[in-house]
Chain A
């Protein structure tokens, strides 16, 4: 029964390729880190313009979420990398295009997470802060936002994991990261099994890092309450 296709895992090849895959993973982590930072900044801005009492800003925030959450990331990447240069003359290298694409899309989701977090805080908190003479922004900064941290950790952890996995899409705009590296050597050496399984395991390792870190963070904040 066993080995009906005669398949044997090629350990020597796997080990030889490991440094290249790890280099690709380095690029994956770099893209993810930049995109997560950008996405978090955008998300904060989007969340804030959605909760301030200004209908125009609220509308713009809603518009942003609608567009960037509604168009598939893959299509957004194509637009940024392939369509924008022809239409506007803006020619982005693959790396900034990748970070921008994932970051802007992630910003839409993170914005929603933060907004929901802010709006889940009891309205009495804002009223108490205002009644003590605080300004709206002081109340946000010192009273409301700090109370959202613990509630934000689980959904933010999920979102960071999603963004990390989404980096595998940027191979379509010629970015050589973990998946693309695996793809190149899988086809040139006819070793798809070794390459893709190893790449998959490296992704799993990276996402596990987030799971563990966020779990610890949640515990730590839970203790301080």
Chain B
């Protein structure tokens, strides 16, 4: 479903991703862990081309992202094609990024109506179904500012799902939340995983990783140092850096 091949990415002189390779199968839940600044967010943002990559390739559902092969050479894809590709990839941000000038319902309806030209009635029905799924039906007409952090993040997940993506990317979805609000967001994510959504999750919630992840990936200084089942990574880490990191966090 996702194939990251030899991806490199620098910001100025700082090389943030160094020949990263990662494959995610359909329906798989991959959790990325690693110290701050190791390039986790950057990798996630490259997957939907919010960041351009310097070299390497990323395939989503068999389609090359952000690039195009012309006469055997890789060139930047036209903006239009990048927009189209992003429709299949939902993203959830640490700071929610709900649209503050719209009601919850309109936050969910906006992209389906604008981008997919879905008819308003159908979009509304889809939005209400999704709000029900994340347990926030009664907040349909509220503005984001009037919701708790946990509620906002659940709306943000529903908003991404409204585009009916094939893949969901989560960048520390619970890091900005008060501890007592983390659970409600994680349980929505667990439900999504159970339904077979392909998910890539950057998180420090090791409990979630243990319970839900099919695979855990450890990143450090722009490289994937180790990957394996949660069992392998948490009980028998091979790389000294992984051990060091886990010792600090657990």
By a beta-carbon cutoff of 8 Å, the part of chain A in contact with chain B is 122, 124-125, 127-136, 138, 142-143, 146-147, 225
Contacts and interface: CB of A to CB of B under 8 A. Distances in A.
Contacts of A130: 50, 83, 86
B114 A131 contact: no
Given A138-B114, A146-B101, A225-B101, A133 B95 contact: no
Contacts of B95: 124
A131 B48 contact: yes
B143 A133 contact: no
Interface residues of B, number: 29
B115 interface: yes
A131 B115 contact: no
B248 interface: no
15 contacts: A127-B50, A128-B97, A128-B98, A128-B99, A131-B50, A131-B91, A131-B160, A132-B115, A133-B84, A133-B116, A134-B83, A136-B79, A138-B115, A143-B99, A147-B100
B163 A132 contact: yes
Contacts of B163: 132-133
Nearest to B95: A124
Given A138-B114, A143-B110, A146-B101, 20 more contacts: A125-B97, A128-B93, A128-B97, A128-B99, A128-B156, A129-B111, A131-B50, A131-B90, A132-B86, A132-B87, A132-B110, A132-B115, A132-B163, A133-B86, A133-B87, A133-B111, A133-B115, A133-B116, A225-B100, A225-B143
Contacts of B91: 127-128, 131
Contacts of B40: none
A20 B84 CA distance: 62
Contacts of B145: 225
Interface string B176-195: 00000000000000000000
B159 interface: yes
A182 B89 CA distance: 67
Contacts, number: 67
Contacts of A124: 93, 95, 97
B73 interface: no
Which of B79, B83, B145, B160 has the largest number of chain A CB atoms within 10 A? B83
Contacts of B80: 135
B114 A134 contact: yes
Contacts of B159: 132
A187 B98 CA distance: 63
A127 B97 CA distance: 8
A172 to B, nearest CB: 44
A111 B48 CA distance: 32
Contacts of A127: 50, 91, 93, 97
Contact of B101 (A134, A138, A147): A147
Contacts of B87: 132-133
The 6 closest A-B CB pairs, nearest first, are: A133-B87, A128-B97, A132-B111, A124-B97, A131-B91, A133-B115
Interface string B10-54: 000000000000000000000000000000000000001010000
Nearest to A131: B91
Interface in B71-94: 79-80, 83-84, 86-87, 89-91, 93
Contacts of A134: 83, 111, 114-115
A132 B83 CA distance: 9
A138 B112 CA distance: 13
Contacts of B156: 128
A152 to B, nearest CB: 13
A135 B79 contact: yes
Nearest to A141: B114
A142 B90 contact: no
A225 B111 CA distance: 21
Nearest to B162: A132
